[in-house]
């Protein structure tokens, strides 16, 4: 029994390690594909646009410091996996990055929502938005790649253009103070969405956003 348990643990460890190595290679491949032959500035701008244009959708399973790379396979994601990925890629091209967390309320976008979603948003508790602060030429610059270009048509604060040097727009209007975290502290940041009311809201939100893109 003991030897069987050890075999299972070893097998699971090897599978997890293989999966981790595979995703590391995939991210490395994407970084090379997106930045090959580009200057440092053009490389960070290209990575930014590529991640920004991943369609926005809230997928709780991706809000994890180990699972976020799955956003590349799913082709959908919210602020958390987008900025975990942005941080990862920026570090690979030699940039210093911090995570920036902001409390906000979903009903700040109430004027854009249809009636059902507006009612649900008002009942939502305070949530937390993730962006990055990137050290560019000795200054930490706000970089927010949350909202894809398709959402600009409904009035969302999309960063249509970024010069690679100055602050982007923040995707939310913070209801409290900014909190900064080193990437090594990712696991200690605010927990994701887990309760039934919140899950019902994000399902309705995702459905509405998908309809807008058609």
pLDDT, one tens digit per residue, over 121-162 is: 999 999 999 999 999 999 999 999 999 999 999 999 999 999
Confidence of residue 9 (pLDDT cuts 50, 70, 90): very low
How do beta strands 139-143 and 127-136 pair? antiparallel
Task: Express each pLDDT in 41-95 by its tens digit.
Answer: 999 999 999 999 999 999 999 998 888 999 999 999 999 999 999 999 999 999 9
Contacts of 151 (CB under 8 A, 6+ apart): 56, 158, 209, 212
- The CATH class of 38-212 is alpha beta
What pLDDT band is residue 15 in, cutting at 50, 70 and 90?
Answer: very low
Q: What is the pLDDT of residue 191?
A: 61
Residue 168: is it exposed, middle or buried by C-beta count within 10 angstroms (0-12/13-18/19+)? buried
Q: How far apart are CA 136 and CA 123, in angstroms?
A: 39
Q: What is the pLDDT of residue 136?
A: 98
pLDDT classification of 189: cutoffs 50, 70, 90: confident
Buried b (16+ CB within 10 A) or exposed e, 116-152: ebeebbeebeebbbbbbbbebeeebbebbbbbbeebe
Task: Say if residues 166 and 136 touch (Cβ distance below 8 Å).
Answer: no
């Amino acid at each position: 029994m003991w030897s069987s348990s050890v075999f299972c643990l070893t097998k699971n460890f090897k599978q997890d390690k293989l999966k981790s190595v595979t995703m590391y290679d995939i991210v490395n491949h994407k970084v090379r594909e997106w930045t090959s032959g580009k200057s440092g500035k053009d490389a960070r701008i290209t990575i930014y646009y590529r991640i920004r244009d991943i369609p926005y959708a809230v997928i709780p399973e991706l809000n994890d410091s180990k699972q976020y790379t799955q956003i590349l396979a799913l082709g959908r994601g919210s602020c958390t996996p987008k900025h975990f990925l942005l941080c990862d890629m920026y570090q690979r091209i030699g940039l210093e990055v911090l995570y920036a967390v902001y409390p906000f309320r979903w009903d700040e976008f109430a004027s854009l929502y249809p009636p059902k979603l507006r009612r649900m948003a008002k009942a939502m508790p305070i949530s937390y938005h993730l962006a990055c602060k990137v050290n560019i030429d000795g200054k930490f610059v706000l970089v927010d790649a949350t909202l894809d270009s398709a959402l600009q048509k409904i009035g969302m604060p999309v960063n249509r253009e970024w010069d690679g040097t100055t602050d982007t727009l923040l995707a939310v209007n913070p209801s409290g103070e900014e909190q900064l975290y080193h990437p090594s502290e990712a696991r200690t940041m605010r927990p994701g969405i887990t309760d039934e009311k919140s899950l019902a809201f994000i399902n309705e939100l995702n459905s509405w956003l998908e309809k807008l893109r058609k």
